[in-house]
Amino acid sequence: MFVKRDTVEKMTAVGCCGWFSFSFAKKSNKVRGLGDSTSCEFLLDEETEDEDYGFSNKDVADDGSGEDCYFQSPTKQAEENLRSRMQQGFMCREFPVKETHNVLRSEDESGNKTVNEYVYEHKIGGGSYGKVVLYRSKIDGNNYAIKSFHKSYLSKIHVTPSETAMSDVLREVLIMKVLSHPNIVNLVEVINDPATDHFYMVLEYVEGKWVFDGSGPACCLGENTSRKYLRDVVSGLMYLHAHNIVHGDIKPDNLLITGSGTIKIGDFSVSQVFEDDNDEFRRSPGTPVFTAPECCIGESYRGKAADTWAVGVTLYCMVLGKYPFLGETLQDTYDKIINDTLLLPDEMNPLLKSLLEGLLCKDPVQRMTLEDVAQNPWVLGADGPIRPYSCWCRQHNLQTKSA
């Protein structure tokens, strides 16, 4: 079996402590399921932290065969697909993301560090590619989460034979530039000064965290809260898939909750763009314990079906407070994902049980689709069907056709 290593941050936190593939926690060589005593040892390179780079030495690997070279660069493919769709009017932003090509790093009168109009508040998280910092705008007074990177550093990290970490960042920016949905974190501004090594993504700041309602085992959400969150995730993900975008790393860590309790999907660092209905990919997505069985084998897989599996693992975590498949090692985890039977409590709500079995079906052809999930009796609950989101690009196209 072909197995890719991943950073320890991506294997640990499943709750509220991750921001866009960044973790608040210090490096650990243990992996624990929520509410589960199981632990895993992993052989990982040591990571270091400094003021500018956050955590470094991202674990990246390929299968050594060089076969990725036969596939078009994901970033170039994303550029071509997105550019083509923009030309056809498929862009959900009525107003484009602000692009700034000069960086002024300084201090304000109180000695706080500033980047252009943004005043440093405190660090939110650190990750393998950079760090996320809370800044306050001097212009509108609002808080923003800013992801900062060093271009020269990311350009040296190869994630495939033909792709660097900088490619991932640029693809993430390209994708987020076209997105606008109430259940997706909004990209506000990109700051990229050709004369400096600094690169910034200014994102809306979502302050909320997971809110446990006290029912069920420790660290578990109740059915009502889980249903509410799942509906938001499905709405956002259906929107992405309808716009030919596969997220690739759906998990609780990448789901942020607003003060009003709305879920917003974040972290598009491993997301991919596909053309028409051809969502076949080769490069394995995000986080091991949320990886679909077909992705563990090392062959090509369907991105939408893999996202749907990750939704199932996420729902399982929310309801039961642990991972459905977790081994003693990374290899063992993948073996369990591929071979082990899904275990669910006998006393579980039969409708919820059926939903989890459908989402976590190991055969991607037989697995439930998001459209099936949106109509599932447990998901409908007392709120009824999940309403399709009427995005701006579709409204614009309908107006154009009717004119």
- 163 burial (CB, 10 Å; 0-12 / 13-18 / 19+) is buried
Tell me which of 36 and 298 has the higher pLDDT: 298
Phi-psi region of 121 (alpha: psi -120 to 50; beta: other; left: phi over 0): alpha
Angstrom distance (rounded) from CA 160 to CA 149: 19
Strand partners, 280: 302
Residue pair 392/94 in contact (Cβ under 8 Å)? The answer is yes
Nearest to 58 by CA among 156, 147, 133: 156
pLDDT band for position 359 (cuts 50, 70, 90) = very high
| 284 pLDDT tier (thresholds 50, 70, 90) | low
Using pLDDT thresholds of 50, 70 and 90, give the confidence band for residue 396: low
> Rounded mean pLDDT of the chain?
77
Angle at 331 between CA 330 and CA 334, to 5 degrees: 90
What is the distance between the alpha carbons of residues 140 and 49, in angstroms, rounded to a whole number? 32
**pLDDT value of residue 106:** 94
For residues 234 and 250, the answer to whether their CB atoms sit within 8 Å is no
Burial class (CB in 10 A: 0-12, 13-18, 19+), 335: middle
In this predicted structure, which of 207-221, 239-253, 336-350 has the lowest mean pLDDT? 207-221
In what helix (H) or strand (E) does residue 172 lie, and over which residues does it extend? helix 165-177
Q: Compute the distance between CA of residue 165 and CA of residue 162 in angstroms, rounded to an integer.
A: 10
Nearest to 345 by CA among 336, 337, 357: 357
Q: Is the pLDDT of residue 371 over 70?
A: yes
C-beta of residue 59 within 8 angstroms of C-beta of residue 46: no
Q: Specify the DSSP class assigned to residue 188.
A: E
Which tokens go with 365? 């052809």
% of the chain with per-residue pLDDT over 90: 45
In angstroms, how far is CA 261 from the centroid of its own chain? 19
More confident residue, 352 or 278: 352
**Calpha distance 290→392 (Å, rounded):** 32
- pLDDT computed for residue 120 by the predictor: 95
User: Quick one: average pLDDT of 352-380?
Assistant: 96
In the three-class reduction of DSSP (H, G, I as helix; E, B as strand; rest coil), residue 83 is classed as helix
pLDDT at position 23, please? 32
With pLDDT > 70 as the criterion, what percentage of the chain qualifies?
69
Q: What is the pLDDT of residue 64?
A: 39
Least confident of 160-164, 336-340, 360-364: 160-164
The answer to whether 198 and 104 have CB atoms below 8 angstroms apart is: no
pLDDT level of residue 159 (50, 70, 90 thresholds): confident
Confidence tier at 244 by pLDDT (50, 70, 90)? confident
pLDDT of res. 281: 79
Residue 393: per-residue pLDDT = 64
Provide the angle, in degrees to the nearest 10, between the axes of the packed helices 350-359 and 303-320: 140
Catalytic-role residue among 249, 253, 279, 307 = 249
pLDDT digits (tens, 9 = 90+) for 91-102: 677 778 999 999
Neighbours of 214 (CB within 10 A): 10
Segment 202-212 shows an average pLDDT of: 75
Mean pLDDT lowest among 27-36, 37-46, 144-153, 255-264 = 37-46
| pLDDT recorded at residue 8 | 30
Phi–psi pair at 330, nearest 5 degrees: -60, -45
Mean pLDDT of 139-144: 95
3-state DSSP call for residue 246?
strand
More confident residue, 335 or 93: 335
Q: What is the mean pLDDT of residues 99-106?
A: 94
- The domains found in the chain, sorted by start residue, are 67-204 (3.30.200.20), 223-392 (1.10.510.10)
What pLDDT shows up at residue 401?
Answer: 52
* Residue 123 assigned to a binding site: no
Report for 26-30, 33-37, 96-100: range of highest mean pLDDT? 96-100
Mean pLDDT of 369-398: 80
Confidence of residue 395 (pLDDT cuts 50, 70, 90): low
Per-residue pLDDT for 174 more than 80? yes
Say if residue 306's pLDDT is above 80: yes
Give the three-class secondary structure for 8. Answer: coil
- The yes-or-no answer on residue 249 being catalytic is yes
Mean of pLDDT values over 27-40: 37
Q: What is the DSSP string of 310-366?
A: HHHHHHHHHHHSS-SS--SSHHHHHHHHHHSPP---TTS-HHHHHHHHHHT-SSTTT
Tell whether the model's pLDDT for residue 398 goes beyond 90.
no
